Structure 1
Amino acid sequence: MSRPIVAIVGRPNVGKSTLFNALAGQQISIVKDTPGVTRDRIYADVTWLDMQFTLIDTGGIEPESSDLILSSMRQQAQMAIDTADVIMFITDVRQGLVDADFKVADMLRRSHKPVILVVNKVDNFEKLMPDVYEFYNLGIGDPVPVSAASRLGLGDMLDEVAKYFSKDNTQEEEDDRPKIAVVGKPNVGKSSLVNKLVGEDRVIVSNIAGTTRDAIDTPVKYHGKEYVFIDTAGLRRKSKIKEDLERYSIIRTVAAVERADVVVLLIDATEGVTEQDSKIAGIAHERGKGMIIAVNKWDAIPKNDKTIYKFTDEIREKLAFMPYAELLFISALTGQRLNRLYETIDAVIENHAMRVGTGVLNEILSEAVAMKQPPSDKGKRLRLYYITQVSVKPPTFVIFINSKELTHFSYTRYIENKIREAFGFKGTPLRFIYRERKEKE
């Protein structure tokens, strides 16, 4: 199930980043060890009680003049409205209500998205409550007092946010058509690809407020089977600042990837793999999605018999953290190999949801251990007792062992490769969880 997306919006210096960091904590996901994934702290996965959501910090640039602040805030608000399920509007009790707050509140109210009004820097609830009540004037509901710096009131605030979760997710559950997010840098041909698959030029969604993100879902029928393509090209933002645009496209990507089963990362053959490409690939990898790398504009490349190998090596090297990804060379312009794209999507969806019997897994495990000894430290050796698959999308395995300290990612990768040799699992990441069991058991 896709996680709800919660976006933080607010003027400069109201404490957005402090709040973001307080909620994101240091448990920024496990993929730290993954070489090649750079992390921009634009988004983080947050767990509150039994709920998980993705938190997005929309603000980046802090302009000087008040007109610029307003236009930058409008952009942030629009970004949040386009992508988030719930919006957290952060204000500052010390600065009080400001003109820009009213203007942004108007936009948010018209979006009909759930908005939580957060009043930050309330270090003393008794003394500052009269100042908090002033924020009722914004007309977007009850202000929730917090202090991000002292971590006060965060629980109550998250309770308010969480009230909006379960309602929205029920509708998405019934739709079991495969969802494919088409992601990549701007101008790499995402819309052309979706248009080619649909077979007609579909309307680009206009960027008026209230355009829902669902409007860029395109259902496509192929050989009697229906697929839904989620296109992140949708809204073209006019932004003078490159960072703003990049931030915007990353946030759009997180939102699309969150809802997809399979991610198709388009890479421009004329440019090769860029840093932005590996950032986007990292988002899909962390979220455990099925993965296809499609090299677009392949028709525009002068080729000899070695071109495809050279390109393949470059991609595998630069995106070394996802060796499982399927690789295709296509042209959205000419339609070259697009039929292969559907075959690959079908295969990846099947692998992403594949279950393997416990008996067979344990045969593979004991064979693997017999062929290559597990690592040891100070005379103590890692022992792997038992393996079982606990979930799918992505396939996730629990291995019972004697000591977590002795595990090493290279040995995990060795086990993973053995499982892949037996079952393929092409196009999908695999997750491994270690559980300790004492020798006596």
Structure 2
Amino acid sequence: MTEEEYTPAGADTVDQDLAQMTDEEHQARTEAYLAGLQQYELEEDDHEILEGFEDDAQPDLHDFIPPVVAVVGRPNVGKSTLVNRIIGRRQAVVEDVPGVTRDRVFYEAEWNGQPFTVADTGGWEYGVKGLAAKVADQAERAVEIADAVLFVVDATVGITATDEAIVAMLRRSNKPVVLVANKVDGQSQEADAAALWGLGFGYPHPVSGLHGRGTADLLDVLIDTLPDEAANSEALVARGPRRVALVGRPNVGKSSLLNSLAGNARAVVDDTAGTTRDPVDELVELDGKVWEFVDTAGIRRRQHMASGSDYYASLRTRAALERAEVAVVLLEASQRLSEQDVRIIQMVLEAGRALVLAFNKWDLVDDDRRHDLEREIDLDLQHVAWAPRINISAKTGWHKNRLVPALETSLASWETRIPTGKLNSFIGELVAAHPHPVRGGKQPRILFATQSSTRPPKFILFTTGFLDPGYRRFIINRLRQYFGFEGSPIEITMRVRERRRR
């Protein structure tokens, strides 16, 4: 095995040969490859992957939708603190003032082997207007699609008029409700929890979201109320606004770009690096479509070297990437590309998100700097040469109209599925023209190829041996040349299988 790049010898006619093949020929070749694969020792999950390969609309391996739990309650009862305790990490933003959470935010969680999704919501209030009304509406929407509800009440305060209004809303929903008496930090406050029986939702489970007291018992009860899979899966996978994360190092212009796109000062902008601490969400209408942009804190240094608010800002940026579909990495065109920039791009790739490179502050770039920048891009960003590049000025709004076409290109590639027949014909022609080098007297062969999922595109190759990293990169590059995939990472995994013993 070698880390050297694979250099094909001479030109080939792969593209021309494929262009002349019919769908029937693609299908026939694929069925022949599949029949040959049956002569090899296959594992149980191999058969699951191979089932229905002829269906071009083959569902992703991630089509299972876990049940959803909506966490609701009035403002400042500790919902996000409890969510952090349930999901086992500090991801939901928590601050000792009401109203920090405004949107419904979804997090993956698991308890005793049962996966489920937690929908953290903003504080629900009755009869409010403006932003508070929109927050309450988001909470009610979360209840509509949920399979169960955690109704969180502050046991130290007792039942309020807002709590009683929430009770009426939950009764109309006809959803299973588990009552949570939060902020019960010790046995002396158990009596406060008992007073919540009056809400009519049965036993008020005493917990401390802050300290973890009682959460295990609460989760045991919650899991018993959940179905195996989400009942409202269609609503959960319905396409909402495309989610875009703005990432980059501090003071590169992320907040300025968000404000320029939104047409108002949505995010705080200052010349001091690091003004943004927590992700800032904004719905923006561009070219007749609504996009959800998330402005993130600038990544200052490696996460294990960061401390305090920088550390948590880095964690939340990663969380924002996980929620996003596409990332716009802002790079300062007037400054030399740094190791920090490359590391941020790598973070996007590791998250498997579609990618757009935006070179900001282009109005400050002269001809000499443009020449130097091209050399830096060739040297440091060659591994993401497939990502769309746009030159913008967030401060003046120059060329911001080029952002949407770049985003749409990357997202379309991110969601592309190649028919299995055409994929195997492509691999067959490519390997015939450029076979894998012989290593130790053996030459690995590719037996069958299938695309296991999209978002990002992932391919599985069944082989007779381990493929060199350089040869895998060669396949990825040729996949891009033939099928496109501009703006999307591509993943290839191998399943090495031995011939079945007679």
Length-normalised TM-score, structure 2: 0.52
1:114-166 deviations in Å (ceiling 9; x for gaps)? 9999xxxxxxxxxxxxxx9799899896679xxxxxxxxxx999979989997
For 1:174 and 1:316, locate their aligned partners in 2 and report how far apart those are by CA, in whole Å. 40
For 1:396 and 1:250, locate their aligned partners in 2 and report how far apart those are by CA, in whole Å. 27
SS at match of 1:263: strand
1:364 to 414, 419, 426: 426
1:332 to 394, 404, 410: 394
1:233-312 superposed matches below 5 A: 233=297, 243-304=307-368, 307-312=369-374
SS at match of 2:328: strand
Structure 2 unmatched ranges of 5 or more? 1-61, 69-79, 90-107, 119-155, 158-178, 194-203, 209-215, 270-277, 299-304
Q: Is 1:346 matched up with 2:384? A: no
1:10-57 deviations in Å (ceiling 9; x for gaps)? xxxxxx9xx99xxxxxxxxxxxxxxxxxxxxxxxx9988474999xxx
The code of the aligned residue for 2:495 comes to: R
The code of the aligned residue for 1:261 comes to: E
Aligned to 1:425: 485
Change in Cα spacing, 1:167 to 1:214, as seen in structure 2 (3 Å) is: farther
- Is residue 261–residue 290 contact of structure 1 (8 Å, CA) maintained in 2? yes
For 2:219 and 2:401, locate their aligned partners in 1 and report how far apart those are by CA, in whole Å. 46
1:306-354 deviations in Å (ceiling 9; x for gaps)? x435313323533454343222221112222212111111111111111
Number of aligned residue pairs: 323
1:252-299 deviations in Å (ceiling 9; x for gaps)? 211211111110011122333333323322221111110011111111
1:196-235 superposed matches below 5 A: 196-202=260-266, 204=268, 216-222=281-287, 224-233=288-297
For 1:323 and 1:189, locate their aligned partners in 2 and report how far apart those are by CA, in whole Å. 23
For 1:340 and 1:371, locate their aligned partners in 2 and report how far apart those are by CA, in whole Å. 39
For 1:356 and 1:385, locate their aligned partners in 2 and report how far apart those are by CA, in whole Å. 17
The code of the aligned residue for 1:181 comes to: A
- Is residue 220–residue 226 contact of structure 1 (8 Å, CA) maintained in 2? yes
For 1:218 and 1:400, locate their aligned partners in 2 and report how far apart those are by CA, in whole Å. 43
Deviation at 1:199, TM superposition (A): 2.3
The percent of aligned pairs where both chains have the same amino acid is 31
For 1:285 and 1:386, locate their aligned partners in 2 and report how far apart those are by CA, in whole Å. 26
For 1:266 and 1:182, locate their aligned partners in 2 and report how far apart those are by CA, in whole Å. 7
Aligned to 1:182: 246
1:10-49 superposed matches below 5 A: 49=113
For 2:480 and 2:267, locate their aligned partners in 1 and report how far apart those are by CA, in whole Å. 42
Aligned to 1:410: 470
- Is residue 449–residue 462 contact of structure 2 (8 Å, CA) maintained in 1? yes
For 2:191 and 2:371, locate their aligned partners in 1 and report how far apart those are by CA, in whole Å. 63
SS at match of 1:419: helix
Q: Is 1:380 matched up with 2:445? A: no
For 2:235 and 2:371, locate their aligned partners in 1 and report how far apart those are by CA, in whole Å. 44
The code of the aligned residue for 2:373 comes to: F
Structure 1 unmatched ranges of 5 or more? 10-15, 21-44, 55-104, 107-113, 118-131, 145-154, 206-212, 235-240
- Is residue 285–residue 322 contact of structure 1 (8 Å, CA) maintained in 2? no
Please say which structure displays the higher CA radius of gyration: 2
Deviation at 1:373, TM superposition (A): 2.4
Q: Is 1:394 matched up with 2:456? A: yes
1:103-123 deviations in Å (ceiling 9; x for gaps)? xx99xxxxxxx9999xxxxxx
For 2:403 and 2:324, locate their aligned partners in 1 and report how far apart those are by CA, in whole Å. 16
SS at match of 2:384: coil
Length-normalised TM-score, structure 1: 0.58
**What CA RMSD, in Å, does the superposition of the two structures yield over aligned residues?**
5.0
Change in Cα spacing, 1:394 to 1:115, as seen in structure 2 (3 Å) is: farther
The code of the aligned residue for 1:411 comes to: Y
Deviation at 1:187, TM superposition (A): 1.5
Structure number with higher relative contact order (C-alpha < 8 Å, ≥ 6 residues apart) = 2
Change in Cα spacing, 1:168 to 1:329, as seen in structure 2 (3 Å) is: farther
For 2:434 and 2:320, locate their aligned partners in 1 and report how far apart those are by CA, in whole Å. 41
Aligned to 1:439: 499
Aligned to 2:15: none
Moved more, 341-350 or 365-374: 365-374
Moved more, 213-222 or 225-234: 213-222
